[in-house]
Amino acid sequence: MSPSISTSALLIAFALIPPSVSSTGIETTATRVVLAASSCQAAAVQQALDSAPDNSIVDVPAGICDWGNTTVSYSQNKSVWLRGAGIGTTIIRRTSAGNDSYALRFDCDQVKQIELSGFTFQGRHSSVTDGGLYLGNSCRDFKIHHMRFDGFTMSGIEIRDKSNSNPPYSRGVIYQSEFENHFNPSSPSSGEGYPVVVYGSHRALPLEFGTAEAVFIEDNFFKANRHSIASNYGSRYVVRHNDLITTDVTRNTAMIDAHGRQSNSDRGSRSWEIYQNHLTFEGNAYWADGIAMRGGDGVIWGNLIDFDGSTEIGIAYTAQLVIENSDCPAYTGDGLPPVQTPGLNHPVPDQTTDAWIWGNTHLWADQNANGYDEIRVTNRADWDCRYYLQEGRDYHLSPKPGYVPYPYPHPLRGDPDLIFDDAFESAVGARFDFR
């Protein structure tokens, strides 16, 4: 049973934190009011958030709390940092969560800036499509860090722009967090099961690389997820400096994914920048998927494609470039050149037309790829996308001229994350030294 609380039950203090201003002009730290929730129960967290003044910190104490089917939500016109006591120390579960529901929701139609850290969110890991964190209506300059999300069948974090809206759109950074076991245990290769999914505004956007206008996912650990990163509807993301592992259970779906325009949708993914990640197949099956882009444009460079186990191949391809299946002709297997599908001229809406792939290191288990290529544009055995995806026109196996990546680490993190030096130590064997 949740304890009854009142505003007077909140411990209020002041924190003097060294200021840091990012290149976006947002002051990320300052002297801030700190409110302590009386417990980690949903009612206590909700009360503390509702009582928090602008630019304050809400501290949630250690504990293992079951929120049942409750969603804690926040939609005030304020900035807030919701801070748990650490990974494995403040643990949130929802054992009776329903389909398509989240433990924590922020509505950025109102909220100015969000920071979240120091929690473990545990999903039901069942056929129920539950979720952890929802950032809706184009959250700007958010920071999600030192978190663990485990066992969500829908998504650990969903980031969604306001539909059919004008700029500005979602941007922020997710860093030094852990994501494991996001898949449906009864059907690991189908459904959702995304640690991080980015949905755009459903608008056609100009192509931009190397800017702050994206969701940044950096320095995180992912293991045994259906897709570790997924996207659609005009999304823009940057995935860099992460450790991603797929297993025998999850190997049939790509670790890094971007949807194209599907048959009943208006837009596919817009842009992706994928670089300096370590992708590993940890298992014994014949082969596994790694990176698969079904739409949008971007760069894939400097990644290590690796294996660990008795697999015969490992990760089969450095990258797959495909089109959503309804837009490609049937694959005949007769060795003849692919042909245009009647009524579908090149380019198919929102297909990849500007991809650049270079400098990746691929380690195959048999050392010679066993006939597998670096790049694959024929998806599975039943359709053939080579007519619509051609080297030198739609993709290039060389550096993109003039491309400069956005500064790393992301400026919102601060330099060198002085706020967090001794605050977040994992009690469950976290992969990062946060001290």
pLDDT digits (tens, 9 = 90+) for 289-326: 999 999 999 999 999 999 999 999 999 999 999 888 66
CATH for the stretch 62-420: 2.160.20
CA 53, distance to chain mean position in Å, is 29
Q: What percent of the chain has pLDDT over 90?
A: 72
Residue spans per domain, the chain: 62-420
Of residues 188, 391, 186, the one with CA closest to residue 289: 188
DSSP string, 88-141: TTEEEE-TT--TTEEEEEEETTT--EEEEES-EEE---SSS-EEEEEEES--EE
Segment 334-344, tens digit of pLDDT: 777 778 887 78
Segment 195-229, tens digit of pLDDT: 999 999 999 999 999 999 999 999 999 999 999 99
Residue 434: pLDDT over 50: no
Residue 385: pLDDT over 90: no
For residue 7, the model assigns a pLDDT of 38
Dist. CA 223–CA 255, nearest whole Å: 9
Segment 125-171, tens digit of pLDDT: 999 999 999 999 999 999 999 999 999 999 999 999 999 999 999 99
Cβ-contact 135, 107 below 8 angstroms: no
Q: Judging by beta carbons within 10 Å of its beta carbon (0-12, 13-18, 19+), is residue 206 exposed, middle or buried?
A: exposed
Compute φ and ψ for 50, nearest 5 degrees: -65, -30
Cβ-contact 195, 156 below 8 angstroms: yes
Question: Can you tell me the mean pLDDT for 379-408?
Answer: 89
Q: For residue 383, what are the contacts with CB-CB under 8 A and spacing of at least 6? A: 325, 328, 329, 330, 331
Dist. CA 276–CA 256, nearest whole Å: 13
Dist. CA 99–CA 411, nearest whole Å: 36
For residue 370, the model assigns a pLDDT of 65
Of residues 181, 284, 287, the one with CA closest to residue 226: 181
- Residue 8's pLDDT band (boundaries 50, 70, 90)? very low
pTM: 0.90
Dist. CA 189–CA 249, nearest whole Å: 8
Residue 379: pLDDT over 70: no
For residue 383, the model assigns a pLDDT of 76
3-state secondary structure of 413: helix
For residue 376, the model assigns a pLDDT of 84
Q: What percent of the chain has pLDDT over 70?
A: 85
**DSSP letter, residue 52:** P
Cβ-contact 42, 5 below 8 angstroms: no
Residue 15: pLDDT over 60: no
Segment 78-128, tens digit of pLDDT: 999 999 999 999 999 999 999 999 999 999 998 999 999 999 999 999 999
Tokens 């494609």 -> residue: 305
Residue type, 63: G
For residue 334, the model assigns a pLDDT of 74
Tokens 């129960």 -> residue: 41
Question: Can you tell me the mean pLDDT for 23-39?
Answer: 69
For residue 189, the model assigns a pLDDT of 86
**DSSP letter, residue 49:** H
Q: Residue 299: in which H helix or E strand, if any?
A: strand 297-301
- What would the two tokens of residue 403 be? 């491309």
For residue 364, the model assigns a pLDDT of 87
For residue 422, the model assigns a pLDDT of 35
Beta strands in 213-269 (DSSP E): 215-218, 221-223, 229-232, 236-240, 243-247, 256-258
- What would the two tokens of residue 124 be? 């039901």
Chain length of the chain: 435
Cβ-contact 328, 271 below 8 angstroms: no
Tokens 């400098």 -> residue: 359
Compute φ and ψ for 282, nearest 5 degrees: -105, 90
Segment 39-83, tens digit of pLDDT: 999 999 999 999 999 999 999 999 999 999 999 999 999 999 999
- What would the two tokens of residue 114 be? 């969000």
Dist. CA 39–CA 182, nearest whole Å: 27
Q: Could you give the dihedral angle defined by the CA atoms of residues 77, 138, 173 and 265, in that order, rounded to the nearest 10 degrees?
A: 160
Residue 5: pLDDT over 80: no
Dist. CA 314–CA 337, nearest whole Å: 29
Residue 269: pLDDT over 80: yes
Q: Residue 179: in which H helix or E strand, if any?
A: strand 178-180
Question: Can you tell me the mean pLDDT for 224-240?
Answer: 97
